[in-house]
Amino acid sequence: MTTFVLVHGAWHGAWCWEKLTPLLEARGHRAVTLDLPGSGADRTPLAQVTLESCAERVRAAIAAQPEPVVLVGHSMGGVVITAAAERIPERVRTLVYLTAFLVAPGEPLVAAAGNDPDTELAGNLVFSPDGLSVEVKPDAVRSAFYAQCSDSDAEGARARLVPQAAAVFSTPVPYTPERAGRIPRVYIECTRDRAIGIGVQRRMATARPCAKVLSLDTDHSPFYSTPDALAAQLASL
């Protein structure tokens, strides 16, 4: 049995794993989900949400498990799991980046996201007047996140999106070769992703070599579009 700790990306919450969790459990594994601060059902004021507070939330979830975990981060969750693993590397068996940001030490997410000709988020992000949060224009949500998902899944997900604290995007990710850097990494690329283009995904996975690179022929949200295939890939680890 493997314990998977699943960390959602920007604008989402623990709810996004609702189809994947029972599939992992049916294979005899445990799946732990959580809302990052200010996301999902968590009501932390966005002015108080930082990369550090997100990493601490994940660290606490890892520490509560009876065994070392496989830590999975989706999209923005990639920088969160890296920062969390730096805090508790002895309790993380594998880091899994699910079409996620895998950055260099000291690099912020926004640096890795640059020069992406395939993203549909460019020009479709709206910052709050105080600059503390960012949202995606409603007309861009389906094509960027849920292009291969069913209408019901896409609409259900879109209804639950919340503003994202912008600080998580711009904070350099602190990690070292001796701690988070020594944990085996797996990258799961999504070839039809229009939020993080496949070119950027492959550039990150090449620059920070991974023990395995797996592929899903789907959009940014395989937990809805191809949950069975995603569960099979995770279980294979």
Q: Which residues are catalytic?
A: 75, 193, 220
Residue 131, SS3?
A: coil
Q: Where are the alpha helices (DSSP H) in the chain?
A: 20-26, 51-63, 77-87, 109-113, 138-145, 151-158, 167-170, 198-207, 222-225, 227-236
Rounded (5°) CA angle 130-136-137 = 105
Question: Which residue type, as a one-letter code, is found at position 233?
Answer: Q
The contacts of residue 73 (CB under 8 Å, 6+ apart) are 7, 9, 79, 80, 81, 82, 95, 96, 97, 98, 100
Give the separation between CA 34 and CA 37, rounded to whole angstroms.
9
Give the separation between CA 26 and CA 22, rounded to whole angstroms.
6
Q: For the purposes of burial, counting CB atoms within 10 Å of the CB of 66, is it exposed (0-12), middle (13-18) or buried (19 or more)?
A: exposed
How far from the centroid of its chain's Cα atoms is residue 40's Cα? 14
